[in-house]
């Protein structure tokens, strides 16, 4: 069974079927530790003739006879240890849901949409993003309904004033959840991450790659990979495809960019040459890249930029490469944010065989692409954007995994699982410091490290891995 009670629904009332709630009762067992008092405090008359007992004398090293009253007895005081026990991912309780005891999943969606209709004309673009995501999730539930999975969903508008963390954490649907999805704001993610760890509830953050807990928390799952994961994916791909070619990682002479360069150049898997650009002219007139391409072999350039404010530099650097390359084979690698760049020259992208690492990409070659697109349009009367595909993939993966393996199955996948636009492979993240990593028995958190590689070809992007 799949039951989805909605609270302050942002979509039409016919989208989900409201079923009877069945809550999981979480039992906590505690054992009270013994306490031994030092003394009764009652004085007794000392007998005139005391019993003499043997006692070891540490000064002489001999056993001597001493009055029994002079022997100091060590008294042990037991106190209750309030420090939470060390939890490892193996210790996370595995509970396989059943029809009688279904898994409870709370969806804290950043709608801010108490009075907004479905895909209305005057909608905030940010709001539209989450409505598409949620609509995709609902379409996945429609697809899964015939399977009668032992799951119950509780959806909330996380931006509503009445749904603050202080209020929500008291609700049985939250306190007794197996999985909490969301919310969006960093302060709320921090609160729910701590709440999930204290109550052994998986908390999954689908949207913010920037939040990383400072202390170990095996119950926190980051769905959107951070920069470290993209560096790892790009490095491995380059190592596999261009093991013997010259590879340069590019950055301007700024501390933040040099630190980003070092993420590649200090990687143990592959050798990267650092190319630090000191030219500050608008057109990079003082930069000559031809000296780096004096061989007939392929030359690879990695530009680890993700901010729109860096788009002009990226485009100008690619222009220089395009002009200086001539017949040489040049490959440029960038980050997923480039998909949203609006001023990159497509001719440069084509001639330089631009590759990007991405988390989400609509795979039009997927056999489920056209059926999903048509079903979404039939139900909501709008064409789905990429967020709809992402929501569909996420719900499919989460629902099937939790129903088959329990909530901890989310962190036990041996390999990546791919959908229409997204992949899922949750792996543990440890501190970068080697010594700290060796000492840490549990991860800081889990992160989705399923990253795809795109190539720009014939004026469009295509999956190459």
What ranges make up the beta strands (E) of 223-289?
Answer: 246-252, 273-277
**With contact defined as beta carbons under 8 Å apart, do 359 and 336 qualify?**
yes
The residue among 310, 294, 329 whose CA lies nearest residue 251 is 310
pLDDT value at residue 331: 96
Could you tell me if residue 141 is left (phi over 0), alpha (psi between -120 and 50 degrees) or otherwise beta?
alpha
Residue 418: beta bridge partners?
Answer: 423
What ranges make up the beta strands (E) of 90-201?
Answer: 103-109, 151-157, 179-181
Please report the DSSP string for 79-114 in residue order: ----SPPP--TTTSPP----SSSPEEEEEEE----T
Q: List, run by run, the mean pLDDT of 10-residue segments along the chain (465 residues).
A: 56 34 30 34 46 49 54 37 46 78 94 58 73 94 96 89 87 95 90 95 89 86 94 97 95 96 95 95 86 81 96 95 82 95 94 96 94 96 95 97 96 91 94 61 90 95 93
Instruction: Give the span between the Cα atoms of 369 and 57, in whole angstroms.
Output: 86
CB half-sphere exposure, 150, CA atoms < 13 A:
18
Cβ neighbour number for residue 381 with a 10 Å cutoff? 9
User: Looking up tokens 């901010």, which residue turns up?
Assistant: 307
pLDDT value at residue 328: 77
Instruction: Give the span between the Cα atoms of 412 and 426, in whole angstroms.
Output: 8
The residue among 362, 264, 363, 281 whose CA lies nearest residue 317 is 281
What domains are there in the chain, each with its CATH number?
2-20+88-225+366-451 (3.40.50.2300), 228-358 (3.40.50.2300)
Instruction: Give the span between the Cα atoms of 85 and 197, in whole angstroms.
Output: 12
Cβ neighbors of 122 (< 8 A, separation 6 or more) are none
Instruction: Give the span between the Cα atoms of 397 and 405, in whole angstroms.
Output: 12
**With contact defined as beta carbons under 8 Å apart, do 103 and 178 qualify?**
yes
Q: Record the tokens describing residue 147, joined without a space.
A: 């399977």
The residue among 149, 172, 70, 159 whose CA lies nearest residue 112 is 159
Cβ neighbour number for residue 429 with a 10 Å cutoff? 22
pLDDT value at residue 382: 93
pLDDT value at residue 17: 31
**With contact defined as beta carbons under 8 Å apart, do 222 and 212 qualify?**
yes
Q: Record the tokens describing residue 259, joined without a space.
A: 């630190």
**With contact defined as beta carbons under 8 Å apart, do 207 and 424 qualify?**
no
């Amino acid at each position: 069974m799949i039951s989805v009670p909605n609270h302050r629904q942002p979509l039409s009332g016919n989208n989900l079927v409201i079923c009877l709630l069945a809550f999981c009762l979480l039992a906590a067992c505690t054992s009270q530790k013994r306490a031994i008092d030092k003394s009764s405090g009652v004085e007794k008359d000392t007998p005139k003739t005391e019993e003499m007992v043997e006692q070891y004398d540490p000064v002489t090293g001999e056993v001597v006879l001493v009055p029994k009253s002079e022997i100091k007895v060590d008294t042990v005081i037991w106190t209750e240890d309030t420090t939470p026990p060390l939890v490892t991912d193996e210790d996370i309780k595995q509970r396989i849901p059943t029809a009688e005891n279904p898994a409870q999943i709370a969806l804290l969606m950043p709608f801010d949409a108490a009075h907004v209709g479905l895909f209305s004309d005057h909608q905030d673009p940010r709001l539209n993003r989450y409505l598409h995501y949620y609509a995709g999730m609902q379409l996945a539930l429609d697809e899964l309904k015939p399977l009668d999975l032992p799951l119950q969903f509780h959806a909330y508008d996380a931006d509503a004033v009445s749904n603050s963390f202080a209020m929500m954490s008291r609700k049985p649907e939250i306190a007794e959840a197996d999985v909490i999805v969301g919310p969006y704001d960093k302060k709320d993610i921090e609160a729910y991450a701590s709440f999930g760890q204290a109550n052994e509830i998986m908390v999954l953050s689908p949207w913010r790659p920037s939040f990383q807990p400072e202390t170990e928390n095996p119950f926190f799952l980051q769905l959107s990979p951070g920069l470290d994961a993209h560096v790892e994916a790009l490095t491995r791909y380059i190592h596999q495809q261009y093991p013997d070619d010259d590879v340069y990682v590019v950055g301007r002479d700024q501390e933040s960019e040099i630190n980003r360069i070092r993420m590649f150049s200090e990687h143990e898997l592959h050798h990267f040459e650092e190319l630090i650009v000191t030219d500050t002219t608008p057109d990079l007139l003082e930069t000559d890249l031809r000296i780096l391409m004096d061989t007939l072999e392929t030359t690879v350039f990695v530009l680890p930029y993700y901010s729109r404010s860096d788009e002009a530099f990226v485009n100008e650097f690619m222009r220089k490469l395009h002009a200086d390359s001539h017949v040489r084979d040049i490959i440029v690698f960038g980050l997923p944010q480039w998909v949203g760049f609006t001023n990159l020259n497509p001719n440069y992208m084509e001639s330089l065989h631009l590759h990007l690492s991405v988390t989400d990409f609509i795979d039009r070659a997927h056999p489920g692409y056209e059926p999903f697109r048509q079903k979404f349009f039939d139900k909501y009367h709008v064409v789905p954007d990429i967020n709809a595909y992402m929501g569909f993939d996420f719900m499919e993966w989460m629902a099937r995994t939790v129903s088959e393996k329990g909530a901890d199955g989310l962190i036990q996948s041996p390999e990546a699982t791919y959908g229409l636009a997204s992949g899922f492979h949750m792996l543990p993240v440890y501190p970068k410091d080697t010594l700290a990593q060796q000492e840490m028995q549990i991860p800081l958190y889990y992160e989705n490290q399923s990253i795809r590689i795109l190539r720009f070809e014939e004026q469009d992007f295509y999956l190459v891995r």
